[in-house]
Amino acid sequence: QEVAAFIQQESSKMKIQSSVTSFTDKCFKKCVSAIDNGNLSNYEANCMNDCLNRFLDTNIKIVEM
Amino acid sequence: QEVAAFIQQESSKMKIQSSVTSFTDKCFKKCVSAIDNGNLSNYEANCMNDCLNRFLDTNIKIVEM
Amino acid sequence: QEVAAFIQQESSKMKIQSSVTSFTDKCFKKCVSAIDNGNLSNYEANCMNDCLNRFLDTNIKIVEM
Amino acid sequence: SIATEMATAYATSLVNSLTENCFDKCILQPSSSLTSVEENCINDCASKFMRSWNLISKSYIARINNP
Amino acid sequence: SIATEMATAYATSLVNSLTENCFDKCILQPSSSLTSVEENCINDCASKFMRSWNLISKSYIARINNP
Amino acid sequence: SIATEMATAYATSLVNSLTENCFDKCILQPSSSLTSVEENCINDCASKFMRSWNLISKSYIARINNP
């Protein structure tokens, strides 16, 4: 029982992390053009955040159609 | 026996559906440029059909080489 | 024991082949522009080789960070 | 059941492909909320995509049956 | 057998990659049948791709053995 | 253990995504060795990518908890 709960918890943690990697991959391509230094500019950080949230909005609209 | 046949049938249905999704993905990118309304224009419909069939021709040529 | 060794050996062969296919896919897109004949030009062959090795360098740098 | 699991896996990959394609076509510059232009575009895009899916499905099955 | 299954899975992914790359390079505007230009292009593309595969394979194995 | 295997699979996919993105952004024309410009670019790119990953992770979890 505890083992099953542990596996399920780990597995959903992994699903979230794998989604985060895939969103980062997509929004990094969209929001980061030049690599001038290792920090995120304000523009890039806002773009990443908007990119994630509009992607999730798009997903929700399509599921609810 | 019936269960095995059912699973195999369902499984080949799923393989076809997953191929259809992957072909649609590829040809949609190639044939649809502007989203002006929800219908497929004649041009887009012909392009989708030609895109699928030429993709399958390419696949056959490569397998037969 | 022998069966397990055989499976492991085959499985690592397959992993290498699947990596080779994925590197070829990536570097073919980068190095081959026009299809004028079936041979690799010197430029293309050098580019494929450099592309593979710089990709592996990038991978190593990132893992060691 | 196995059939349900396979159908779920399939539906997930269709929804993912729809979302990717319509996000790429409709959200060129993501802003702080979906604009009405973007919302209409997503609706039209999803409808165009599903019509394309049906067309490809018919053509593909026709070709499998008459190679 | 397991080895056959693995080899089949591997060959399928190679054929898929060949088909994707050569379709993208050779069929810019799909028409109602393959033209002879497109057919020649597919032949040359597949041959270029397989030569690339062999070159990458040799270089990769050389690098694994002498890191 | 299962948790270790899942964590390894996950780390592999993150490293793959980092490598792909930073190779694409930093190595425009591969040459016979990494230049110092390319090396700096890979460092900065990886750092930008990991900061992006952390930002997306926070925003995504916030959104899951307050849909």
Q: Does C54 touch chain F (CB under 8 A)?
A: yes
Q: Does A42 touch chain F (CB under 8 A)?
A: no
Instruction: Check if the beta carbon of residue E29 is closer than 8 Å to that of residue B33.
Output: no
pLDDT the model gives residue A43: 96
Greater pLDDT, B1 or D48: D48
Pick from A26, A50, A62: which is nearest to D18 by CB? Answer: A62
DSSP per-residue letters across E1-61: -HHHHHHHHHHHHHHHHHHHHHHHHH-SS--SS--HHHHHHHHHHHHHHHHHHHHHHHHHH
pLDDT the model gives residue E67: 73
Is the Cβ pair F43, A37 closer than 8 Å?
no
Amino acid at F23: F
How would residue D66 be classed by pLDDT, with cut points 50, 70 and 90? Answer: confident
Smallest CA–CA separation between C58 and chain E, in Å?
14
pLDDT the model gives residue D32: 97
Pick from F13, F26, F48: which is nearest to A21 by CB? Answer: F13
Domains and CATH numbers, chain C: 2-64 (1.10.287.810)
**pLDDT above 90 for F66:** no
How would residue C64 be classed by pLDDT, with cut points 50, 70 and 90? Answer: very high
Read off the tokens for B20.
């259809």
Q: Does E28 touch chain C (CB under 8 A)?
A: no
CA nearest to B59 within chain E: E19
- The owner of tokens 């790359």 is E21
Interface predicted TM-score (ipTM) over 0.85: yes
pLDDT the model gives residue E57: 97
Pick from A54, A62, A65: which is nearest to D27 by CB? Answer: A54
- The owner of tokens 């989708």 is B48
Give the helix, strand, coil percentages of chain D, each rounded to 5. 80, 0, 20
The one-character DSSP state at A32 is: -
Q: Report the CATH number that the domain containing residue E52 is assigned in CATH.
A: 1.10.287.810
Mean pLDDT over A38-49 rounds to: 97
Set of chain E residues whose Cβ sits within 8 Å of the Cβ of C16: 60-61, 64
* pLDDT, chain A, mean: 93
- The owner of tokens 């057998």 is E1
pLDDT the model gives residue A11: 83
Mutate to test the interface with A, among F4, F55, F58 (most CBs of A within 10 A): F55
How would residue E7 be classed by pLDDT, with cut points 50, 70 and 90? Answer: confident
pLDDT the model gives residue F56: 98
Chains that touch D (3 or more CB pairs under 8 A): A, B
**pLDDT above 80 for F2:** no
Is the Cβ pair B61, E32 closer than 8 Å?
no
**pLDDT above 80 for D2:** no
The domain total for chain F is 1
How would residue D4 be classed by pLDDT, with cut points 50, 70 and 90? Answer: confident
Residue D16 lies in domain: 2-65
Mean pLDDT over D6-16 rounds to: 87
Instruction: Check if the beta carbon of residue E4 is closer than 8 Å to that of residue E23.
Output: no
Mean pLDDT over C39-47 rounds to: 97
Instruction: Check if the beta carbon of residue C31 is closer than 8 Å to that of residue C48.
Output: yes
C-alpha–C-alpha distance, residues C4 and E11, integer Å: 23
Helix (H) or strand (E) holding A16: helix A2-31
